[in-house]
Amino acid sequence: MTTSGAAATDAPASAGAPEGSPPAAGPPEPVLPRYGGACLTSVVPALMGRRHEPPEWLPEPARQARQVVLLVLDGFGWTQLQAASAGLPALATGVGGPITSVAPSTTATALTSLATGAPPAVHGVVGYRLRLGAGGDRRGQAEVMNVLRWRNDGGDLRRRVPARRFQPVAPFGGEPVPVVTRAEFASTGFSAAHLAGARMVGWSVPSTMVVETRRLLREGEPFVYVYYDGLDKVAHERGLGEHYAEELRATDRIVADLVDALVPGAALVVTSDHGQVDVGTAARLPGPELLADVEILSGEGRFRWLHARPGAADDVLAAAKEAHGHEAWVHTRDELVDAGWFGGPLGSEVASRLGDVALVAHAPVAFLDPADTGETRLLARHGSLTAAEMLVPLVAWAAP
């Protein structure tokens, strides 16, 4: 399966070198989303219409299943599965392979694409922290919304930024699919944005997640969406070391329990929103020469947007390439749109949520935003288009 593609890049570093000199290594190619193919945007449509010409990348156990459980393991990349499979007796037996996440490879964007079947350019949730339009807040200043919390520095935004206006695409094709997720997520602004109309089934401990899934299958539900965030939380807090390995083993037991909970004719499908890169302490502010011409920052550490002051976008682009071109893909918003990163053209409102220049790390580094103090503590991160972040599993099991 082809999972990578080329975006616009600078000329190789060796251009103009003396004849006969060995070429200098350029930046790696980003792994582009396979919109319309083996990508998160295609998973729910394929599963909900699985009996009508299922795509070749859909795992065999799901193709003719009468009922399907889709388990979304937040923060579980294909690279992490391959590295740990010897110690994961349940996950190692799944039938399937890797598919791609979306750009940016972050929870807010990827889960919205998964539930709606739409690329970021269409649903408009184009990142983790987004600028709220060109007009800014009521004082005329720019403001940035944390999409997962549906807040800005001033507090809750659920009334002022209605979720269904911000993200208009109906999830699950408009069907009232049961969603088994943490109980505290049911009433959040982000859930209202990407799970509108779903039947929320809350759990507080993983065992309840298994019990509720089994109940829904026995009641005949054709499609059940289950979400578990343990791996992502541990990776952010502790990195990809022994704590993550232990959480992987615990998650593997959840998968085994869900396989055992399947009724005859049902299948379990596992995927994820993104993988992880262990950055550790290699997180820092963008070069100071950039910030003088930047009004605000948005996005996240591995996909950082620079919002230039009026008339300064070209200067910011040049300075960003000089300071960080060796460790990040540095492009303008228009370049990324033209290269297909977001799955199509951006409407004016969606475009206004993004900055002028993007720093998209391919080295194991992160670019901090001084306005987002909580992010400084994260050890493992995601958001960029490296294979470790972009390739996620799509694996399945039939009922025993």
What secondary structure does DSSP assign to 233-271, as a single string? HHHHHH-SSHHHHHHHHHHHHHHHHHHHHPPTTEEEEEE
The whole-chain average pLDDT of the chain stands at 91
- Quote the pLDDT of residue 138: 44
**Do 364 and 251 reside in the same domain of the chain?**
no
Q: What is the pLDDT of residues 134-152, one digit of tens each?
A: 544 444 467 999 999 999 9
**Do 213 and 320 reside in the same domain of the chain?**
no
**Do 215 and 110 reside in the same domain of the chain?**
yes
Q: What is the pLDDT of residues 52-81, one digit of tens each?
A: 789 999 999 999 899 999 999 999 999 999
In a domain, 1, yes or no: no
- Quote the pLDDT of residue 14: 32
Q: Is 316 exposed, middle or buried (0-12, 13-18, 19+ CB in 10 A)?
A: buried
Which range of residues forms the domain containing residue 164?
Answer: 40-278+385-398
DSSP code string of 193-243: HHSTT-EEEEESSHHHHHHHHHHHHHTT-SEEEEEE-HHHHHHHHH-SSHH
Nearest of 41, 171, 30 to residue 99 by alpha carbon: 41
Q: What is the distance between the alpha carbons of residues 243 and 237, in angstroms, rounded to a whole number?
A: 9
Which CATH number characterizes residue 310's domain?
3.30.1360.180
Q: What is the distance between the alpha carbons of residues 363 and 384, in angstroms, rounded to a whole number?
A: 10
Query: Sorting pLDDT into bands at 50, 70 and 90, what band is 95?
Result: very high
Q: What is the mean pLDDT of residues 354-367?
A: 98
**Do 392 and 359 reside in the same domain of the chain?**
no
398 φ, ψ (degrees, to nearest 5): -90, 160
Number of H helices, E strands in the chain: 15, 19
In a domain, 15, yes or no: no
- Quote the pLDDT of residue 40: 98
Which CATH number characterizes residue 97's domain?
3.40.720.10
Q: Amino acid letter at 265?
A: G
* Range in 100-104, 196-200, 280-284 the model is least confident about: 280-284
**Do 44 and 176 reside in the same domain of the chain?**
yes
Secondary structure class of 279 (helix, strand, coil): coil
Query: b vs e for 282-295, b when ≥16 Cβ sit within 10 Å of the residue's Cβ?
Result: ebeebeeebeebbb
Domain count, the chain: 2
In a domain, 172, yes or no: yes
**Do 118 and 69 reside in the same domain of the chain?**
yes
Per the CB < 8 A criterion, the answer to whether 292 and 308 are in contact is: no
Query: Sorting pLDDT into bands at 50, 70 and 90, what band is 274?
Result: very high
Query: What is the torsional sign of CA 143, 146, 151, 152?
Result: negative
In a domain, 317, yes or no: yes
In a domain, 389, yes or no: yes
- Quote the pLDDT of residue 137: 45
Rounded to a whole number, what is the distance in angstroms from the first to the last CA of the chain? 29
Q: What is the distance between the alpha carbons of residues 155 and 138, in angstroms, rounded to a whole number?
A: 14
- Quote the pLDDT of residue 141: 63
- Quote the pLDDT of residue 26: 76
In a domain, 370, yes or no: yes
| pLDDT above 90 as % of the chain | 84
**Do 196 and 121 reside in the same domain of the chain?**
yes
**Do 335 and 350 reside in the same domain of the chain?**
yes
**Do 191 and 51 reside in the same domain of the chain?**
yes
In a domain, 34, yes or no: no
Secondary structure class of 148 (helix, strand, coil): coil
- Using alpha carbons only, give the angle 262, 267, 269 rounded to the nearest 5 degrees: 115
Q: What is the mean pLDDT of residues 32-53?
A: 93
Query: Sorting pLDDT into bands at 50, 70 and 90, what band is 13?
Result: very low
**Do 315 and 235 reside in the same domain of the chain?**
no
Q: Tokens at residue 107, please?
A: 């929870």
pLDDT at 8 over 90: no
In a domain, 21, yes or no: no
Q: What is the pLDDT of residues 219-253, one digit of tens each?
A: 999 999 999 999 999 999 999 999 999 999 999 99
**Do 389 and 367 reside in the same domain of the chain?**
no
**Do 194 and 179 reside in the same domain of the chain?**
yes
